[in-house]
Amino acid sequence: MGRQTKRQKLTPMNIRVQCAGYAQLMFNRGGIRTHVIGVLVTDNVLELLLYTRSGGCFTTPLNFAHNPSLFLRILLAFSRLTRSQWGFFDELIPCTWSLPQYPVLHGKTDPWMFKGKTLEVGEHKFKVSDIRVFPRGLIGRGTWTIGLMDKSKELLGKARARKLILKISSAPTTRQAESFFIENARTVVEAHVEDQWALRHLPAILDSGEFEGAVSFEHLFGEDYEKRTLRYLVVEELFPITHLTDPEELRLAFKDIVKCHRWLVTVPGIMHRDISVNNLMYRVDGDRKFGVLNDFDLACTLEENRRATSKQRTGTKPFIAIDLLALVKRTEGMAKHFVRHDLESLVYVFAWIVCRYENGQEIKEPPLEEWCKGDWPRVTTTKRAWFLDTEPDPITPRYKSLRPILIRLKSQVGDGLYALKRHTAKIDLDPQLAGIIPFKHETLDDHVTYVTILTALDPPPPYTDVIVPS
């Protein structure tokens, strides 16, 4: 675009990173957006920037002093863009829309930017309250989790009028919607009386669908561009598992979730693939708190598990299994997501909670920060070192009684990873042994299975179940 000038060279990487950082803030703290349009001006040279949840691009630099007519046409085009074309989700504009302030003021987030707004979803109207979870990163789903109240009280009924949760995310169009897996699982439950217990450990969907009208940018990025669809899900409110301050309740909730995961795999044939601290929840039913496996955005059927349905890595960084962290170094055959990957992630979540939370709040200067920082190889190395570390884990006082549980869980996964390392070393020394020496990759030679993890969560007294789960 525009006449060639002496400045025709790549924008420095540090400038590109800085621009991407601004786009990330606008995506994640400036309201719900499908894309971000920006302008980079250096002296008399202008570049247009476009960021989507699947990538970004720059235009050819334009010297507007040399080509003022084209510059004016760009300004005219900008003036005619609708809010949707600018990238805003037009159905839910922040209350601060007309206020002269930055998306992030003094580094603080604004969880009430939609307070009092009314959102129409399908045939229902909802009153929007606070933002529960802000999205992170630049590339990916960018999920917003927002509190709602059903204004008509039709979904829950007057007797059960309580807060609902709205999830809005830019999901890959090629991936099945989260609602597909949850509704499929609940349909199986309804057909089998003996499986009714599973409903207590699954989210309850009240509405779901897709928002239309998003601008497509496939023509700019080519066939490799991952097209995304803005999807929504309305569910009953659940509570973060980190709020379970009673050690016994936390232990039982983890057992509930492992059993639910096993049922999902063995009965409806669904693999979750995104075990993280934010995806493990609980619900209250009477005087019992039940663990709930939440967020099926990255789930797949067992048949689909053999092929990728998105260009993005599955999982949440601090909790991704070591094999999957090193995925780029693996062959295609090793890229399959095994059950033991989810079980390994569950061990990381357990350690994360008992070492970083006290009375439902994250402590100051929490341990295990290295699981979040650095590139994928660095996190892989850090996690391997954690399994080899002989120093006791810094469990918070509230959960000190769960130390035997963590030791057993950590030992099961650590022994399995060590067995895999020994097996791999033998093959490296003598490649002819490949296929001859047996090794069960699916379970790390039976070290990481549902049975071993449930056993670790249920050791001898005093850790017997207070309430016998179904």
Write the pLDDT tens digit of every residue in 318-329: 999 998 987 644
pLDDT of residue 155: 57
Q: What is the C-alpha separation between 341 and 443, in angstroms, rounded?
A: 9
| DSSP notation for 218-254 | HHHH-TT---EEEEEEEEE--EEGGG--SHHHHHHHH
Write the pLDDT tens digit of every residue in 171-199: 999 889 999 999 999 999 999 999 999 99
Percentages helix, strand, coil for the chain, rounded to the nearest 5? 40, 20, 40
Contact call for residues 319 and 276 (beta carbons, < 8 A):
yes
Q: Which domains does the chain have, with CATH numbers?
A: 13-86 (no CATH), 239-470 (1.10.510.10)
pLDDT of residue 411: 97
Q: What is the C-alpha separation between 409 and 244, in angstroms, rounded?
A: 19
Q: What is the C-alpha separation between 282 and 292, in angstroms, rounded?
A: 5
pLDDT of residue 153: 60
Ranges of the chain whose pLDDT falls below 70: 1-10, 96-108, 151-162, 306-314, 327-335, 461-470
pLDDT of residue 329: 44
Task: Characterize the bridge pairing of strands 164-172 and 280-285.
Answer: unpaired
Torsion angle (degrees, nearest 10) of CA 63, 68, 74, 78: 110
pLDDT of residue 97: 61
Tokens of 257: 């979730």
Contact call for residues 27 and 51 (beta carbons, < 8 A):
yes
Contact call for residues 134 and 33 (beta carbons, < 8 A):
no
pLDDT of residue 306: 65
Nearest in space to 181 (alpha carbons), one of 331, 91, 325, 300? 300
3-state secondary structure at position 42:
strand
Nearest in space to 216 (alpha carbons), one of 93, 84, 312? 84
pLDDT of residue 326: 78
pLDDT of residue 431: 82
pLDDT of residue 373: 85
Sequence-distant (6+) residues with CB within 8 A of 125 are 118, 119, 151, 152
Q: Which helix (H) or strand (E) holds 261?
A: helix 247-266
Q: What is the C-alpha separation between 112 and 110, in angstroms, rounded?
A: 5
